[in-house]
Amino acid sequence: MWRQWIPFWHPGISPHGGDVDLLFSGLLVVSSLVLGLLFFLLALFCVRYRASNPIDRGHQTSKSWHWEVSWTAASLICFLALFVWGASIYFQIFRTPPEELSVFVVAKQWMWKVQHTGGQSEINALHIPVNRPIRLVMASQDVIHSFFIPALRVKHDVVPGRYQDLEITAQVPGHYHLFCAEYCGTKHSGMTGEIVAMEAADYAAWLASQTPSSPLAQEGGSLFRELGCSGCHGIGSKVRAPLLEGVYGKPVPLADGSVVTADDKYIRDSILLPRSQIAAGYEPLMPSFQGKIDEEQLLRLIAYIKSLGGHGS
């Protein structure tokens, strides 16, 4: 591979790594050509029209529109082509990931907290099996962070107040850098971590060797009772609230006539901003839990509601 001979060029280990590298090289080549041409002309004119050169300066031609229009059009087409190329790769990388293996990532000043659905958690590290698409559900507890794994050629902002989905696939086992790529405060530069890509068997062994507190869904179940959700959403409650059994992944008709899918984002919004989307046929009685529960409790509640059955579980 020609890239091996370029210093500082770390090999990409994701399926789209080659495409990103090629695009990057293309950008580099086009920019270098433009830069080279400019500096060449600059030097040429400097030498040619230097004060001591007795050259004929009398025949200044008027502006040539042919030249003007053609070089503007040529560079426009060139850079638009780069844009289209980049956009097609972008859509390939950032498509909505399938519900395969989900891992939650919570960013906070200044660390990455990772929650596996089995209850295993880690800080500033993420263990994943190789050759398997992983769906990361990312949230921030405070400010904007950015999840950046150079070896996988992916970077995604993690914005407070909403979930971000990101699909990653590592093809080669090993340890890789994880960085926060958005300035997020004093210790931003220390907000680094490690991605550990392992063979499926090693990954299974690693999962088993961790001491899980208890599965996320189970902890979510206790929270569901402690926070009083079950008081309204339980069978036989006095308040008329929708039963959450099997709601996950199903279409939910809303009071305003629209229909949404009950995915992670919808459930999150239902808990934090219950007024924003009212389920059809119910009164807006649910209190907001904004500021009362943090991201980690939220994802436990979602795991619990998911475990109550429904699509894809």
Specify the stretch interacting with Cu ion by CB under 5 A; choose among 42-50, 137-145, 211-219, 303-311: 137-145
Regarding 163 and contact with ligand HEC (CB under 6 A), the answer is no
DSSP 288-312: P-TTTS-HHHHHHHHHHHHHT-BTT
Beta carbon nearer to Cu ion, 184 or 271: 184
* Residue 248 interacts with ligand HEC (CB under 6 A): yes or no: no
180 binds Cu ion (CB under 5 A): yes
Pick what 233 binds: ligand HEC, Cu ion, none; C-beta below 5 to 8 Å, kind-dependent: ligand HEC
184 binds Cu ion (CB under 5 A): yes
Of 163 and 304, which CB lies nearer to Cu ion in the complex structure? Answer: 163
Nearer to ligand HEC, 36 or 228 (CB): 228
Q: How far is the CB of 303 from ligand HEC (least distance, A)?
A: 11
- Residue 270 binds which entry of ligand HEC, Cu ion, none, with Cβ cut-offs from 5 to 8 Å by kind? ligand HEC
Tell me how many degrees the CA angle 263-147-172 measures, rounded to the nearest 5: 95
Binding mask 252-271 for ligand HEC (x = CB under 6 A): x--------------x--xx
According to CB under 6 A, which one of 27, 89, 181, 227 is a site residue for ligand HEC? 227
Per CB under 5 A, residues contacting Cu ion are: 145, 180, 184, 191
Per CB under 6 A, residues contacting ligand HEC are: 227-229, 231-233, 239, 241-242, 244, 247, 252, 267, 270-271, 274, 278-279, 282-287, 289, 301, 305
